[in-house]
Structure formats: structure tokens, C-alpha cells
Structure 1
Amino acid sequence: MGLYSQEQTRVPGATLVTVLVAPRPPGPTLPTARLPGAELVHTLLQLYRYLLRCCRQLPTKGMQEHYRHAVRQSFQVHSDEDSPERIQQIIKRAIEDADWIMNKYKKQNRDSE
């Protein structure tokens, strides 16, 4: 398992599934510039739409397709979630991860120019 942490989540047709979560890189976190609308995300459907808009901002078509596929899969896994606390936890983590990915590719583009 190594550096990955574990999260447990419900999946339709199964009782409980353990999911591996990749760690964030060590070091100070930089202030992130979120896409407009992140503060308005309160439901899983709003999160899904927000993340798809983030995908459109990625530099290459291949990256866009990769992350769009990951967003769709995650939405399908969590679409039946009914605990308000768990939904807020999912939203918070997904937005943080999206911000990290967006900043990563923005930084790579700045460095390559």
C-alpha cells in the first residue's frame, strides 16, 4: 500500500469499499486560485458540473478526457450518498484536488514558456 491512505465508501450493490487515496506532495500549500463558482457548490450534481468545467481548462485534449472520465466515475460511485456530512467532505476534498491539479498544470505551462 505504501504512501496511499484508505477511505471507505459505499458503492451501489456493495456494503462498503475501501478506496486508496493518493497523498498530496509534502511542503507548504500555495494559495490556490479557484475557478469562479467553487463557493456555490453544495450538492454532488453541482460538484460534477464544476469539475467538468475545470476539465475544460486543462491544456490538452488527452488530459481533459482523462480527468473527465475520472470525474464521471467518481460521480457514479458517490451519486447515492445521502449523509450531509459525507457530501460536504466529498465536495471539499474534490475541490481541493481540482485546485491542486489546475495549479499543477498552470505551473508546468509557465515553466515551459
Structure 2
Amino acid sequence: MIRTTLTQRLALLGASGALAAGGALLPSSAFAAPAAPQVVAAVQTAPDHQAHPIGNTTTTRTVTKTVKRTLFDGRVKVTTTKTVTKTTKNHHGNVVKKTVTKTVTVRILPAPDDD
């Protein structure tokens, strides 16, 4: 047999009494005539610890560099280097993840027509 303390019994009695009172009030208010509209004052509170962001923040930085060089036969070699850096920081400002992606594109264009 499990023994319950006096505080447990009182808490259970209070909770069941609150449920019974709420259940008795619900049907009587459901059929009541509509009352005049009530005016309620709006109160807005500031959230706690707004200075510290909650989640992680991600910053993306893209750098594109283009180099054109004329080859010995007159064609133009265009080299484009694109570097994308993604940095994720936690709410303390510490770097959690850093990703660097470098893409190099080389195109050779025909020699320009000098008429």
C-alpha cells in the first residue's frame, strides 16, 4: 500500500475542486446572453535578454576576382575565381562552423577582329 502525505492529498483535493468548478461554470456561460463589449487595455512587455540572440547566426561573404590575359596567338584567357565564405557563430560570438568554397572558371575567347 502506498502512503500519501498530507500535502499530496491537499494538492489533489484542490486540483479536483478547481476542475469541478470550471466544469460547472462552462455550461452556464455557454448559453448566457451576449454582454456589452468590454474595453481591455493593452499591455506590452519587453522580452527578457533581448541583447543576446538565442540561436546561431550565419554570415556569407562572396569575393569574385577576374583576370584577363592575352595569349601569344591573340586569344584572350579569362580566369574568374569566386570565393564564398560562410561563417556560423553561436549566441556567444564563437565560431561554430566555417565553410570556404572556391570556384575557378577558365574561358578562352577568340581573338578580337581588328579591322
What range describes the TM-score normalised by the shorter chain of this pair?
A: under 0.3
By relative contact order (CA 8 Å, sep 6+), the higher-ranking structure is: 1
Normalised by the length of structure 1, the TM-score is 0.20
Normalised by the length of structure 2, the TM-score is 0.20
More strand by share: 2
More helix by share: 1
Q: Which structure has the greater CA radius of gyration?
A: 2
